[in-house]
Homo-oligomer: A and B are copies of this chain.
């Protein structure tokens, strides 16, 4: 066990090392960096994380992070509220929003089913999704979960839960990334890209 010349430093290192992907060496480098910064800068870091944790709200509709009870997307009259895209967490919402290609709304599960990590269906916002569907106003649900065993399990669970409702259930397309070379694409992706081939669009049509 490393011994630190100061208890205050040791405590800060202990706390920083709890952040994901941060080991004790990196935590020490961060702490020494903070010691060289002025007091105001360090206070704004400390208070920003505390304030975020204490004051952040989750949208009551889609469970996205929000500053109001209803997030900006759910509150927007310009979005298609009959089209829900189901995602694992808020980073996926940000990634899809960045594309500018999606006009519907979201449903953030807050994770995926993972028995290994002790995460079951009840730990996710699945009941809330069913409630939204039960209003009868939803036309299509797009599943945009990761292509892992956990993602597939969650997809299948949702499929069974949603099968009884009269709605279109789709998943996002998987295929060769634009710009990627075929020879460097993994077999599963390449295989799926052939199975799910789409009609050729010349780009010449209006």
Listed in ascending order, the chain A residues whose CB lies under 8 Å from chain B are 2-9, 11-12, 14-16, 18-21, 26, 28-35, 37, 39, 41-57, 64-67, 71-73, 89-91, 93-94, 97-98
Q: What is the count of identical protomers in the complex?
A: 2
Within 8 Å by CB of A39, from B33, B37, B48, B54, lies B54
Rounded to whole angstroms, the CA-CA distance of A5 and B106 in the bound complex is 12
Within 8 Å by CB of A15, from B19, B35, B45, B53, lies B45
Contacts known (A20-B33, A65-B35, A94-B2); A8 close to B46, Cβ less than 8 A? no
Residues of B within 8 A of A65 (CB): 5-6, 9, 35
Rounded to whole angstroms, the CA-CA distance of A6 and B8 in the bound complex is 32
The 7 closest A-B pairs by CB, nearest first: A46-B46, A42-B53, A46-B50, A12-B52, A15-B45, A15-B48, A8-B52
A42 touching B49, Cβ below 8 Å: yes
Which of A26, A33, A67 has the most chain B CB atoms closer than 10 A to its own CB? A67
Rounded to whole angstroms, the CA-CA distance of A189 and B34 in the bound complex is 34
B46 touching A47, Cβ below 8 Å: yes
Rounded to whole angstroms, the CA-CA distance of A9 and B20 in the bound complex is 17
Residues of B within 8 A of A42 (CB): 49-50, 53-54
Min CB–CB distance A151 → chain B (angstroms): 18
User: Beyond A6-B67, A28-B91, A42-B54: 14 further Cβ-contacts under 8 Å?
Assistant: A2-B98, A8-B55, A15-B45, A16-B45, A19-B45, A29-B91, A34-B49, A35-B52, A35-B53, A35-B56, A37-B53, A46-B49, A46-B50, A47-B50
Rounded to whole angstroms, the CA-CA distance of A53 and B46 in the bound complex is 11
Residues of B within 8 A of A53 (CB): 34-35, 37, 39, 42-43
Within 8 Å by CB of A91, from B32, B48, B91, lies B32
A8 touching B67, Cβ below 8 Å: yes
Residues of B within 8 A of A35 (CB): 52-53, 56, 65
A48 touching B18, Cβ below 8 Å: no
A72 touching B5, Cβ below 8 Å: yes
